[in-house]
Structure formats: C-alpha cells, structure tokens
A and B are shown apart, each in its own frame.
Chain A
Amino acid sequence: MRVFQFTEQPYPDAWIDHNGSLRVNLPNRKLDPVRAAELFHRYYDEWQLADELGLDIMLNEHHSTATCMSAACVIGLSVLSRITKRARLLVLGYPIANRPDPLRAAEELATIDVISRGRLEMGFVRGVPQEVAIANLNPVFQSDRFWEAHDFIMKALTSHDEPFNWESENYHYRQVNIWPRPYQQPHPPVWSTTGSTYTAKKLGTYGYVMATLGTGYDTRRLYNAYRQGYAEKRGGAAAPADRFAYLGLVAVGHTEEEARRRGELIATYPRTSSIVFAPFRNPPGYLSIEDNVRILKGEGKPRSYTKDGRVVEMATGSVQDLIDAGVMFCGTPDQVYNQIADFVEHCGGMGNLLMMGHAGPMSHEDTVENLTIFAQEVYPRLKEMRQPEAAAAAAQ
C-alpha cells in the first residue's frame, strides 16, 4: 500500500464568525496575508517532512474558501516539485471542467512532471458543486465538458509529431503542440474521484485510479462497479488493488488519549467543509432531478455508513462515529493498523490511502508527531500487508 499525506491547506483562523458560509461569499478581508504566508510555509515544511519520512504527497484546490487556501493546484505542485526529493506528487484533483482553457492545464501538468523528474500523479475531478459559482461555466454541461477536457489533455500530453486541431462547442485550438512534453511516458498516471456507480464503472473501463471520500463502509459498492467496468474491458481481468484509493482521516498517537485529541482536531475538516450558503451547494444540473426532488421534499441523502449499516453524518458525527464509519482511522499504531486492515478487507482490496494527517487548527507539533508515528509505526506494516486476492474480490 502507498500512503499520500494530504492537507487542504486551510485558513482556520477565519472559521469563527463566518455567518453560515465558509465558502464562496466569505469576505477575503477575514484573511490576514501575513498569517496566510506563515501557514503556507508551514504546510510546505510538513510535506517536506512527509517526503523525508517516505510518504507520498497529495494536494488539491478549492476556490474562495477558508477551508482550503490552495486556489490553483499547480502552484503547490510547482513548489513541491522543487523542494521534495522522492515523493510522488498527487493532485486530486485538478477541476478541469471549471477551467476555460485545458491547453493551459496540459502545459502546466507536463511542466510539473518534467521539473519533478516524473513524480506527478495526475488527478482530474469534476469538483464540488460550490466551485461552480466561481468558475461560472455552465454546470448543466459540466460532466460533458469534464470528459472532453480529459480527452483533450490526454491527446495533448501524448501527441509529439505535429500540432493538432481541436474545434468543438467547448474548445477551439488550431495548433496544439505542448512544450515541454511529459517526463513520464506515455503520460503521468491518471486518477479521478466519484460517488456514483455509473462513473465508477466508466473509470474502470479506463483503468484509472479511482478514489472515494467519506464513503466508509459503503465503499465496496463503488469499487465493485469499477471492477465490473475494468473486467468488461479486459476480458474478465480483475482490477488490482493499486487501482483503488480512499481518503481517510488519520489521527495516531502513542496513547489512545493522545490519538483521540488529534482525532478531534482532524474532525474539524468534515465539520467545516460543508459550511456554505445552501444555494451554492446546488447549482442547476449538478445534482440529478431525483436528488433535487428529494431536496424539495426536505430529505437528505446519506453517504457514510458504519459496518452494521448505521448512517453517520460526517458533518456532525463524533470521532467515535467517524471511526465506526471508516471515515477516520484513529488510535494507537496497533489500533490504526487494524482499522485500516479491516477497511481494506471490506473494500476487497485498496492500495492507496490518501491520509488526511493534518486538518484545521492542528498545530505543527501535532502534525509532525502524527506523520512521524504513522510513518514509523503503521506504514511499514501496511506496506507488508497482503491485499485480498483481486480475482476473489471481483467475484463478490
């Protein structure tokens, strides 16, 4: 198993006094640029530590929000390409359908792959609904645009002999010929995320690495849809565990008490990430008609379940609830290892843990401890852990 250290690079000082919305419409006056600089440098220091500890690195982007200061993932990737030595650099992800210019995205990604000497892992995502208000590109066609931007970027990264033409309703280019071309051949590995079985199956046909977040003990349903798509395209071949990734909140300590204290700090992520003025969470066409009818009726749609089928609300659940739901792995190194091993068993194999090892107001000291204990006392065992047999996992 590989483990990627992830933080949203938050600005937690603004999490008080937000008037019900941490995203889109929280005035940026609430950010002190001097404090933001301190935080950015600290987060990069912690990723350098992760690199030294043998962990890989994941970063993302969100817009107009105090939950994540990384508004352009290429900036973080650029810095990390230069200041880290060995870690894989996973962006999960790049919201390519929210950018008007996929050529620019292809150029950025290829350049980062070259500067990092082939360490880029390239995650493309549709992005959360509240990003739509900022991008202002039509959400009704976002899914189509996502796949077209994907097709375009992949062609741009893999075409080397002459400029090509691309003219569609969405994008217009006549001389596509990116310099530099990517370091990894034919292209950096591709990742994506989903919460739907339809998209999971589609990602399976591509064979991309698929990640889910907050799906807990409902993850297997999505993985199985992926396995189905993967097998159909490859004469029944089973999808190996390295095609699957899961974002887990991780809090580890020498004692259970210490781990729980860190767990409370990490739990600030699910408790704040959905604080956004409600209309921005539901741009037209992002959610299905069925989901919108549910919203009109005032009904929710549960996402996280415990092993025995109990629904857990990520935004309000206790640390114990989050542990029960497989959303957080928290405890002593033994406990955390056992929780992860149990979860991997549920998934029928999962080869990439996207570890949120820092969140919210967690201090530098706590973060260093959390990463160090994990890397030294949990990770070696995870690397040795046997994944369930792929073929058996696909059959179930």
Chain B
Amino acid sequence: MAAAAETRQIELSGVAVEVTERGKGRPLLLLHPGHPAGRIDPAARVVELLAQDTRVIAPTHPGFGMVPAPAKLTTIDDLAYLYLDLMEAMELRDCVVVGLSLGGWIAAEMAVKTTERLSHLVLVDAVGIKAGNRESRDIADIYAITDKQLAELVYADPQAMSRNVKALPEGDLVLMARAREATGRYAWTPYMHDPKLKGRLHRIQIPTLVLWGEADRVASPDYGRNYAAALPNAEFALVQGAGHFPHLEQPGALSRRIMDFVEGNAP
C-alpha cells in the first residue's frame, strides 16, 4: 500500500496550482477531466492503484478545486503551457502523461508542442479534436441536457454511479459548481476541441495509448479510433464496463492497462 497523498500549492509564473502527489518511482502526470467529474479526489482508487508503481502527480486545473483561475488562463492551450512549466519546475524526466477526457485534450496540446520530458502518452476518452464534418456533433453538448440525461451519457451504469446530490455536503456542491463553470471557461467555444489540434498530432512520436470506455456516449469509441489514427505511434483499446470516465467506473482495469503499456507488457 502506497503512502497517503500529499497536496500542496505550486506557483508557476504567478499562477497558483494545487498539486497532489502520491507514490514513488517514475513520474506520472495525471490530468483530470471536466464537468461532471472534475478534479481527482486525492483519495481516489485510481490514484491509489497507479501510486503502487509510480509517483503520481495530479494537478487541479485552476478554476476547478478551490484555487481560482487568473484572468490570463482562458484556453486549454494556456493549461498545456502551464503544465509544461510544471514539468520543468519539478524537473520531471521520462514522465508518463495520462489525460482523462478534457485532461486528455490538455495532454495532446502539450505533446504537440514538445515531448522532451515525456516517455509515454495515455489518452483516456480524450476530447480535443474535430473528427467528423462540420454538421456532425462529435462530442455531446453537456450544457444542453439535464444532469440526469448527462449521467446516462457519461456512465456505462448510470444507476450504480447515481448519488443523491441534494444530500451532499455544501463543500462538494461548491466543487461541482466550480467544475461546471471552469469547464465552460476552457471549452465553451470552439466546443470541446481545438480546430488545429488534429493536424498537429503527427508531431507526437512517442508511444501513445488511446483508451476508451466501450459505453462512452459523450464521445464515441469511433471518435477515439479517429484520434488514434491521427497519432503516428498509437494503439487503441476499449475498457469494458466503462463510459466516459473509466477512472471512476473501472479504476482497476484502467490502471492495469496503463501500467502494462508503460512497462511494455503485452495486453
């Protein structure tokens, strides 16, 4: 069992970022999704499992959590530069970067700029590219549906993942509201993607794993296959029993897949 997670604030060119660390060994930068999942709970199962073999570094994107976003941070591209700065400040080398949904978009934007400090890239149900034509909606409009409808798109088993929101502590509700707003801040328009990103993915030459919840109804597995096809050195695999957030529904299977990939074990 790995030691408990530690959370601290790091300042990067005037921007405060909350960073959780857990475990020892090779660094693994874990980038969290947007609404409705939001920041990764430091006590989350996926962090605990990955920390058995790696040093998990999980920043909370400014605006999520309780640290506000400064006015100059308005795009996913800004977050990509912020985390490249973070890797430099922490002197990370041979780092595995794992991006979940919106975090996958950030990871891809980082890797097209430079993979100097990266060994592997893992994109899990990542958004960020325009895959279809101009009249197809690649990614569900999460702001045009009710919370119940959203849960049905997000989870393979919405019933099992459902919770009584009204009964949650005030602090959790604040985090939910902040995550919903921060997601809009970074991804409102162009909606959940950067029109330029797909044309730049050829620059990512490092080994890349594209994992996709088989029941993802926010961005379909075909969207994920399209993503993988644009990456020169990528393999694509489905995660059974998961929707858009495998780290919540299948943390065991997800962390196993990631570690097998990083350690070079055949699936």
- Give the A-B contact count at a CB cut-off of 8 A: 60
**Nearest residue, chain B, Cβ from A296:** B173
Q: Would B173 and A284 count as touching, CB distance under 8 A?
A: no
**Residues of chain A within 8 A of B146, CB atoms compared:** 278-279
Whether the pair B181, A298 counts as a contact (CB closer than 8 A) is no
Which one of A169, A284, A296, A298 lies within 8 Å of B143 (CB-CB)? A284
Closest to A299 in B: B166
Residues of A within 8 A of B145 (CB): 279
| Chain B residues positioned under 8 Å from A137 (CB to CB) | 188-189
B189, A292: Cβ atoms closer than 8 Å: no
Q: Is the CB of B143 within 8 A of A279?
A: yes
* Residues on the A chain within 8 Å of B166, using CB: 296-298
**Interface residue tally for chain A (C-beta within 8 Å):** 21
Assuming the contacts A280-B144, A283-B143, asked whether A296 and B177 have C-beta atoms less than 8 A apart, the reply is yes
List chain A residues, Cβ under 8 A from B184.
Answer: 138-140, 283-285
Cβ–Cβ < 8 Å partners of B165 in chain A: 296
Please state if A169 and B177 are interface contacts (CB–CB under 8 Å): no
Q: Contact between A136 and B143 (Cβ–Cβ < 8 Å)?
A: no
- Interface pair B181/A140, CB less than 8 Å apart: yes
Contact yes or no, B185 A285, CB < 8 A: yes
Question: Please, which residue of chain B has its CB at the minimum distance from the CB of A283?
Answer: B143
Q: Do residues B188 and A293 form an inter-chain contact, with CB atoms below 8 A?
A: no
The answer to whether A284 and B189 touch (CB under 8 A), given A169-B74, A293-B170, is no
Chain B residues within 8 Å of A141, by CB:
74, 185
Q: Does B176 contact A (CB under 8 A)?
A: yes
Interface residues of A in 272-302 (CB under 8 A from B): 277-280, 283-285, 289, 292-293, 296-298
Query: What does the 1/0 interface line of B136-155 toward A look like (CB < 8 Å)?
Result: 00000001111000000000
Q: Give the contact-size bracket for chain B.
A: 20 to 34
Are A139 and B188 touching (Cβ within 8 A)? yes
A293 touches B174 (CB 8 A): yes
B174 x A140 contact (CB < 8 A) = no
B183 in the interface (beta carbon within 8 A): yes
CB-based contact A289/B189 at 8 Å: no
Q: CB-nearest residue of chain B relative to A291? A: B177
Contact check, A279 vs B144: say whether CB atoms are below 8 A apart.
yes
Please state if A292 and B144 are interface contacts (CB–CB under 8 Å).
no
Does B180 belong to the interface (CB within 8 Å)? yes
Q: A138-B189, A296-B176 are in contact. Are A284 and B144 (CB under 8 A)?
A: no
Question: For residue A284, which residue of chain B has the nearest CB?
Answer: B184
Minimum CB distance partner of B177 in chain A: A292
Q: Is B247 an interface residue (CB 8 A)?
A: no
B180 cross-chain contacts in A, Cβ below 8 A: 284, 292
A138→B165 CA distance, assembly (Å) = 27
CB interface residues, B 153-204, toward A, < 8 Å? 165-166, 168, 170, 173-174, 176-178, 180-181, 183-185, 188-189, 191
Q: Complex Cα distance A283/B187, Å?
A: 12
B174 contacts across to A, CB distance below 8 A: 289, 293
Q: B170 — nearest CB in chain A belongs to which residue? A: A293
With a cutoff of 8 Å between Cβ atoms, the chain B residues found around residue A58 in the complex are none
In the complex, what distance in Å separates the CA atom of A136 from the CA atom of B190?
Answer: 9
- Give the Cβ gap from A287 to chain B, nearest Cβ, in Å: 9
Q: How far is the CB of A300 from chain B (nearest CB, A)?
A: 14
Residues of B within 8 A of A (CB): 35, 74, 143-146, 165-166, 168, 170, 173-174, 176-178, 180-181, 183-185, 188-189, 191
A residues lining the B interface (CB < 8 Å) = 133, 136-141, 169, 277-280, 283-285, 289, 292-293, 296-298
Q: Can you report 12 residue pairs joining A to B where beta carbons are below 8 Å apart? A: A136-B189, A136-B191, A137-B189, A141-B74, A279-B144, A283-B143, A283-B184, A284-B181, A284-B188, A292-B177, A296-B168, A296-B176
